[in-house]
Chain A
Amino acid sequence: MSLINYASREINCKIVYYGPGLGGKTTNLEYVYEKVAPSSKGKLISLATETERTLFFDFLPVDLGTIRGFRTRFHLYTVPGQVYYNASRKLILKGVDGVVFVADSQIDRMEANLEAMQNLYDNMAQHGYDLTRLPFVIQYNKRDLPNAAPLQDLDTALNPGWTVDDPERQKSTPDPYRTGDYLVREVDGAWIERVPTFEGVAVKGEGVFDTLKAVSKLVLKTLG
């Protein structure tokens, strides 16, 4: 629900980082905060527990500047990863324009990833939003760890794709972020769409801006 405020000439877009606990959502935001020029960012707000686990959300506004007369901002939010904070997770999704799912690549976190993904679909549906029609990207984080699962396995589990019913969209669409791969393609007679994915090592900043840039561009396209 990007709000175009014609009175104050502002456009604000809301991007939510979702995923399992300790997967690196807050780390993504902290890296963005660290690297973006001071004039382009607001305060990083963290509603966290004493042990620095996200209790409610982290929030970072990023200012794109004035474009065609509209001051354009992205509001970046994270949700708490722990399942027992589901009520807060759901609240943060209200009015979302784009979603980044930060998956933990470690093999033993696969179940937590799957649970968080299912929970994301459920919470979006409860708000009446269809995740398959919203800007959505996945970041496979912690790629530097020795027990990181192969990308293929992560894709199979977390990004199997959904059937494309709209005939206009049933055409092979190359993945701009993975050479030789496709976002929409025909598999056994059915057209399947999957979402763009990025490898990340958020603590070192790897993949952080690639991910953010991709989801932001998808959100901008919805305004055009």
Chain B
Amino acid sequence: MSGSGAASWSFREEDSGRIRAVLMDFLRDASARTALLVDRAGQMLVTVGETPNFDPTAFASLTAADFSANDQLARLLGEHEFGTLFHQGEKESLYLADIARRVILVVLFDNRTTLGLVKLRMKPAVNELSVMFTEMFARDTGNDGRVGAGFVGEAEDELDKLFGI
């Protein structure tokens, strides 16, 4: 079943460390609350800053859908993409930016900062992250896409228990 065409990649411990450092600096400079990285298939990669009090799995899936739908809207207008999106709430707002066409950076902020400052500080962070992710996608994944021996058997047992209803 391998080689199906769906690109696979892995997210390593050292990737997480480098990315967290960039996001922490950005949050401090922009006075924003939380930064999240979500992949385009709707999976949460990293959360930095204040722990959000929403369901992160649901949030990630909706973020990916939001970005994908807006991509299509952009194309209808003859644009290649909308690189960033902004959702303004009464107290909380979201600013989203594309990273290397595969990942979305989501920033949560409130009235402790301004949209202008978030946008200003986000640009260099997006550039830095884009370089990192491009390198990650380009590297040889080797055995990263595989889990240790015994995983599949154990997972199948769990499946039988969970779905053997």
Interface string of B132-165 (1 = CB under 8 A from A): 0000000000001111111110111011101111
**Chain B contacts of A218 at CB under 8 A?**
1
Tell me the smallest distance from the CB of B75 to a CB of chain A, in Å: 10
Interface 9-residue window, one of B8-16, B22-30, B86-94, B111-119: B8-16
B147 near A222: Cβ-Cβ < 8 Å: no
Closest to B64 in A: A94
| Chain A contact residues: helix, strand, loop or mixed | mixed
In the assembled complex, A204 has its CB within 8 A of some CB on chain B: no
**Chain A contacts of B46 at CB under 8 A?**
7-8
**Chain B contacts of A149 at CB under 8 A?**
none
In the assembled complex, A4 has its CB within 8 A of some CB on chain B: yes
In the assembled complex, A22 has its CB within 8 A of some CB on chain B: no
Q: Which of A47, A87, A95 contacts B42 (CB 8 A)?
A: A95
Tell me the smallest distance from the CB of A37 to a CB of chain B, in Å: 8
CA distance A7 to B165 in the complex (A): 33
**Chain A contacts of B42 at CB under 8 A?**
14, 59, 75, 95
In the assembled complex, B65 has its CB within 8 A of some CB on chain A: yes
Interface 9-residue window, one of A103-111, A130-138, A170-178: A130-138
Interface size class of B (residues with CB under 8 A): 35 or more
Q: Which of B4, B64, B156 contacts A220 (CB 8 A)?
A: B156
Q: Which of B6, B43, B68, B163 contacts A96 (CB 8 A)?
A: B6
Q: Which of B3, B10, B72, B146 contacts A3 (CB 8 A)?
A: B10
B69 near A56: Cβ-Cβ < 8 Å: yes
CA distance A62 to B165 in the complex (A): 14
In the assembled complex, B74 has its CB within 8 A of some CB on chain A: no
CA distance A4 to B43 in the complex (A): 10
Tell me the smallest distance from the CB of B44 to a CB of chain A, in Å: 8
Interface string of A64-107 (1 = CB under 8 A from B): 11011010110101000000000110011011110000000000
In the assembled complex, A48 has its CB within 8 A of some CB on chain B: no
**Chain B contacts of A36 at CB under 8 A?**
162-163, 165
Tell me the smallest distance from the CB of B4 to a CB of chain A, in Å: 4
A88 near B10: Cβ-Cβ < 8 Å: no
A40 near B156: Cβ-Cβ < 8 Å: no
Closest to A212 in B: B163
In the assembled complex, B78 has its CB within 8 A of some CB on chain A: no
Tell me the smallest distance from the CB of A143 to a CB of chain B, in Å: 19
B4 near A129: Cβ-Cβ < 8 Å: yes
Interface string of B53-78 (1 = CB under 8 A from A): 00101100110110011001000000
If A68-B148, A222-B2, A224-B146 touch, does A216 touch B159 (CB 8 Å cutoff)? yes
**Chain B contacts of A130 at CB under 8 A?**
4-5
**Chain B contacts of A4 at CB under 8 A?**
10-11, 144-145, 147
Closest to B14 in A: A7
Q: Which of B16, B62, B164 contacts A8 (CB 8 A)?
A: B16
Q: Which residues of A contact B (CB under 8 A)?
A: 1-8, 11-12, 14, 35-37, 40, 42-43, 45, 47, 56-57, 59, 61-62, 64-65, 67-68, 70, 72-73, 75, 77, 87-88, 91-92, 94-97, 127-130, 133-135, 209, 212-213, 216-218, 220-224
- Which 9 A/B pairs are nearest by Cβ-Cβ distance? A95-B41, A7-B16, A224-B152, A91-B68, A133-B4, A1-B6, A129-B5, A209-B163, A5-B11
Could you name 28 residue pairs across A and B whose Cβ atoms are closer than 8 Å?
A1-B7, A1-B9, A1-B41, A3-B43, A5-B11, A5-B45, A8-B16, A11-B147, A45-B58, A56-B69, A64-B158, A64-B159, A67-B158, A68-B150, A73-B57, A75-B42, A75-B57, A75-B61, A96-B41, A133-B5, A134-B1, A134-B4, A209-B163, A216-B163, A220-B155, A222-B1, A223-B146, A223-B155
